[in-house]
Structure 1
Amino acid sequence: MSIRSLFVFVVLTIICNLTYAQNGAAFFKGYPVVAHSDTLFFIKNKLGSLSAAERAERTSAKVEQLAEDLLFVSDSLITERDSSLIAIAYKGNVMMSLSQADADSVKMDREVMAKAYQEIILNNIDKYKKETDLTELLKRAALGLLIISILGMCIYFLNKYSNRFNAWLRVKLHAKISGFKIKNYELINSKTEMLIIRKLLNLIKILVIFILVYLTLPIVFRLFPWTKPWSDSLIGFVLNPLKNIFSAIIDFVPDLITIGVVVIVFQYLKRAIKFLATEIEAERLNINGFYPDWAKPTYNIVKLILNAFMLVVIWPFIPGSDSGIFKGVSVFLGLLISFGSSSAISNGVAGMVITYMRPFKIGDIVKIGDTTGAVQEKSLLVTRVLTFKNELITIPNSAILSGNTVNYSSMANQNDLIIHTTVTLGYDLPWNQIHELLIDAALASEGVIKEKQPFVLQTGLEDWYVCYQLNAYINNPKRMPAIYSEIHKNIHIAFDAAGIEIMSPHYQAIRDGNASTLQNTVVMTKGES
């Protein structure tokens, strides 16, 4: 076989390997006959009791054994034909036999196929003998030493000039490097930055040296037939992963296109829903029974559902999604989220329920539990309330859903809000005078609606005093503390002017049997013993 024919054979073998790697098991090439780390040809069919794999293994062993024969004569390797087989034999020892089925499997004439295989075996043996000739080995050893010497010189000069380059770079960059800052915080000072640059350059030098050594070793190993498999292994460590990555990328392209189409469709669907939500929130689009403040949370819920559905659709197309590791990590993350976010999920569900219950909106004055103030923020998990003392209180939504909420703003905006306060006074004071004084005090207070008459309710007739409840109308619940203070001040002023002491008396009665309780009462006020 000529050099050109051998080169064509090698190229065809490489192309077949790449094609087979890309197409998987689309076709079966057969079992390779390998001698001295070279693949000679393939055997696809069995012969007699021998399988194709056994035939390939036996032929490989006989070729390598023949190459070790010091008295080998190439003219003695001949082809012999009988009625059904053509044998390639050496001095009566059959190397291999070829049947008509072997010829049909490669679509060649059986005699032409036998001659081609004979020539391939002769070329392999001749190449091996030349490579193992003492003179050739000495030449190759000298060439190997030369290559190693060149490698050593390259490493020496690389190390020498890299050190000089580092010194020159430190001098040049010393005045220019000022460290790395984020606003006013110095994350890396100039000294540390210079150290990082020096370490990075040393790392690059080590990487270059490693690449040079890694490229040199296969060349040296390939000089000798015994170390040639080592060379193939070193090259395979790099080429096989690259070939696998390239094949995986080629195979992933259709799935990637599918994923891209699905993502684009869902993106435009979410944009359309967001547009509708924006129109509803801006009250340009009205839907009966659907409030504008529902638009944004509803969009967020729909977006979450669409994203989850999109992930379900593209999941089978993600590389490695059907692997055991991928499934194990997915189950672990699911369990982690389930056990670690139970309270967050309950708050999230409560937040959605509160959104559609509409008990309050941003800016409303509310009372949630013991907290009274203006609603500052409504989120999926918590609600934040700014109290009258300028305190920002964060309340979990689950606590709001399980308790009572008082909204002062909702009624104040519609029918005005009624605020009330209570005083307790003795039975000896005229109730009509008390009513008049309380109503006058309310009307004199700033913030109370004058158009709606305040009123007084007597809410209790206790053993020693009467409970008078003053009710007044206001329309600005944000000023409730100030209005309450103003009403209490005016009540104090009005009762002082009328000579009435605001106290709750305690009565002790001494009965003589027939006298009225009112005529024989000794009044003991608070502070008397």
Structure 2
Amino acid sequence: MTEGGGACYGGTCLARGAREGASLRRTMSRTHSDTTRSGRPRSVGWIIIALAYMLKEGASRTQRPPRKRRGGHARLLSALVAATALLVPGAWAQEKVAAPGGSTSSIPSDIDEAPEYARAAVTLDGVTLFRVRGVTAYPAEQRALTISGRIEALAADRSVPADALLVVEAEDRSNLLAGDHLVMRILDIDATSEGIPRQLLAEVIHQKIVKAVALYRKDRSARVLVVNTAYALGATLIAGLLLVVLRRAFRRLEALAERRFKSRIEAVELRSHQLIQAQQLRAMGYGLIKMLRVVAVLAIVYGYLNLVLGLYPWTRPLAKRLFAMVLDPLRTMGTAFLHTLPNLVFLALLMIVIRYVLKLIRLFFAGIDQATITVSGFDREWAWPTYKIVRMLVVAFAIIVAYPYIPGSESEAFKGVSLFLGVIFSLGSSSFIANMIAGYSMTYRRAYKVGDRIQVNDIFGDVVEMRLMVTHLRTVKNEEIVVPNSLILNSHVINYSTLAQSRGLILHTTVGIGYETSWRQVDAMLRLAAERTPGLLTEPPPFVLQKSLGDFAVTYELNVYCNNPQGMAQFYTALHQNILDAFNEYGVQIMTPAYEGDPDAPKVVPREQWFTAPAADSPPLSDKR
């Protein structure tokens, strides 16, 4: 078809008809929903619109002058082709077909927008000139790499002037030629993706390539390389001088800081009663100065490398990447911070709320511990253990609420690390959990409290501290024993202090007396020894039990009351002393387990020998009343 004659032959008419059919499809796609609302099939609606378009073309043809007749037949033929394209089943229409059960299935339509194809950058010396698209058989990356190689070959060939690059227009493309060599082709699809005419796009790309080739050759000219080398030498000298000056400056800064702040640091240490050490403050100051020195050195080195590498075209891409290596992480962190800023604000507010909630809970349980708040059936000793449980539950609830807002919580790495830590905690915390549960169990079982004297297996002492995991006991030998709560939970616990104040603690001791001594005399002597022992209670009164009638002696048990379990050792010592004195005083022999027969003289200590030296200087406890 010629630009002026309007003739149309063979495939040209078909191509024109296809283009007009596509135009008609776009026109009718805006009204296809109105056509389907009438209840008629969509294909009928498209047929009606196509026939109307054909009638319109026929009417316009009859109004034209006779010399345009061949062109009119061409338009009529193109309209028929467009109508045929409309009637092709499934070509572009979307029909709904009834399926079994009353459901419908949709057939996709070509009216939908075409997918966005990827584009690749055409570069020279690491600088992006423009971008091109590709197709499945010729991807954009491959096309861009080919064009970049051609442009670089053109730039390297100084026998071809830069302005020798020309744009040669063809019917469906624009060719960029450097002499007889093809640089690239610009197709209609390239212009369509850019949204501008193909000729304008070709001119823009032509100017870009010409300027890039000129700059490529200029950067590699001998004069420019010599000048840039001089700049590089000057930059090297300046960077070296800066490093030397920087080193001396920081040495003076350290000496100045030592002179000016030494006395102040020592004064701070004295005012804090040595809680803050001067050596720590001095080390912190030196660390800050060293950090500033490292940052300054890195800044000088980075600026030097960026400048020198940027002077030469071969290393210029590395200089740009070096700049990007520093800025990209900062940009990424800044973008991530701005993206997560609302979540961080939420977490901060949640922490503030939880903190004040915990303070209110602490005040409540402190009131219970101090008896200013009373709760029926709730002991004061339960206040702080219960507070710890409630605090743990509140913190766990806060973690559950905050978890989705923690930056990176949805990443696979975060989930993997959390799972790994959970497995490790589960494998290594069996005894930890057991001791923790045992600690709370001991508290709510009221087995003991701080200050009680208890016995766990063969461990005997006073409770000095109760922790979640262990209990601290102090023995009568002033030894501190740390007992795991799980051991206490699985053992028998004897508490000597629980009933000592209300009913009294019973201390008991046994003696073996021969059958020749009246039990009434023995009973009286044991009661006399109890009356002589200071610190014991007179009410309830002491009592004597005859435990057994042995082969050689009768076993008597003296039971006395006291209200001070911590004095058990002293009470037993004084009681035993008074028993010995009373039996010696009345001439009654205390039998030994290895008794074989009565001796010639009774085994007693006469009264006149009670204070034989050096006993005279230290009277027994029973005489300190």
TM class, shorter-length = 0.7 to 0.9
Residue matched to 1:10: none
Q: Secondary structure at the match of 1:355?
A: helix
Distance 1:402 1:283 in 2: 32
Deviation digits for residues 137-196 of structure 1 (CA, Å, limit 9, x no counterpart): 33333333343344445456556x55984898699689979999898899999xxx89x9
Counterpart among 158, 161, 173 of residue 70 in structure 1: 158
Q: In the aligned structure 2, how far is the partner of 1:32 from the partner of 1:65?
A: 17
Corresponding residue number in structure 1 for 2:79 = none
In structure 1, the residue matched to 2:506 is 418
Matches within 5 A, 1:122-141: 122-141=210-229
Please, which moves more after superposition, 457-466 or 280-289? 280-289
Q: Identify the range of structure 1 (332-341 vs 80-89) with the bigger mean alpha-carbon deviation.
A: 332-341
In structure 2, how many angstroms separate the alpha carbons of the residues matched to 1:494 and 1:365?
A: 31
Quote the residue 2:126 is aligned against. Answer: 37
Whether the 8 Å contact between 1:426 and 1:505 is mirrored in structure 2 is: no
C-alpha deviation, 1:525, in angstroms: 8.3
Question: In the alignment, is residue 485 of structure 1 matched against residue 560 of structure 2?
Answer: no
Aligned to 2:327: 239
CA distance in 1, matches of 2:275, 2:405: 45
Q: 1:28 to 1:495 in 2, by over 3 A?
A: farther
- Alignment partner for residue 440 of structure 2, among 339, 352, 357? 352
SS for the counterpart of 2:371 is coil
Cross-structure match for 1:5: none
Alignment deviations for residues 77-127 of structure 1 (CA, whole Å, 9 cap, x no partner)? 333444433343333544333344433433334333322222222221122
Counterpart selection for 1:113 from 201, 218, 241:
201
Q: Percent identity?
A: 33
Which one-letter code corresponds to 1:39 in the other structure?
T
What is the CA distance between 1:360 and its match in structure 2?
0.9
Within 5 Å, which residues of 2 pair with 1:444-483? Answer: 444-483=532-571
> 1:510-529 to 2 correspondence within 5 Å?
523=598
* CA distance in 1: counterparts of 2:331 and 2:434, whole angstroms: 50
Structure 2 residue aligned with 1:377 = 465
CA contact (8 A) 2:118 2:140 kept: no
Question: What residue number does 1:97 align with?
Answer: 185
Task: Give CA-to-partner distance per residue, 1:440-496, whole Å, 9 cap, x none.
Answer: 332332222223222211111112211111222222222222222333233333333
* Matches of 2:400 and 2:440, distance apart in 1: 24
In terms of mean alpha carbon deviation, does 275-284 or 310-319 score higher?
Answer: 310-319
Q: In the alignment, which residue of structure 2 is the partner of 1:439?
A: 527
Structure 1 residues 153 and 367: alpha-carbon distance in aligned structure 2, compared to 1, 3 A threshold: closer
Following superposition, the deviation at residue 320 of structure 1 comes to 4.9
Q: Write the letter of the residue equivalent to 1:66.
A: L
For 1:121, the aligned partner's letter is I
Residue pair 2:250, 2:293 contacting (<8 A) in 1 also? no
Note the C-alpha offset of 1:318. 4.1
When residues 317 and 98 of structure 1 are mapped into structure 2, their CA distance, relative to the original with a 3 A threshold, is farther
Unpaired segments ≥5 residues, structure 1: 1-26, 509-521
The 5 Å alignment of 1:122-521 reads 122-155=210-243, 162=249, 165=252, 208-315=296-403, 317-321=405-409, 330=418, 333-334=421-422, 336-338=424-426, 340-503=428-591
Q: Does structure 2 retain, via aligned residues, the 8 Å contact 1:505–1:524?
A: no
**Mapped partners of 1:37, 1:342: distance in 2:** 60
For 1:518, the equivalent position in structure 2 comes to: none
Name the structure, 1 or 2, with higher relative contact order (CA <8 Å, separation 6+).
1
Structure 2 SS opposite 1:70:
coil
**Structure 1 residues 418, 52: closer, same or farther in 2, change over 3 A?**
same
TM-score using structure 1 length: 0.77
Does the Cα contact within 8 Å between 2:461 and 2:475 map onto a contact in 1? yes
> Do the aligned residues in 2 keep the contact of 1:386 with 1:392 (CA within 8 Å)?
yes
Looking at structure 2, the residues matched to 337 and 156 of structure 1 have their Cα atoms a distance apart, in angstroms, of: 52
> Do the aligned residues in 2 keep the contact of 1:277 with 1:295 (CA within 8 Å)?
yes
Whole-angstrom distance in 1 between the partners of 2:477 and 2:297: 69
Q: Structure 2: how far apart are the matches of 1:135 and 1:105?
A: 42
| TM-score of the two chains, using structure 2 as the length reference | 0.66
Q: Structure 1 residues 80, 477: CA separation in 2 closer, same or farther (over 3 Å shift)?
A: same
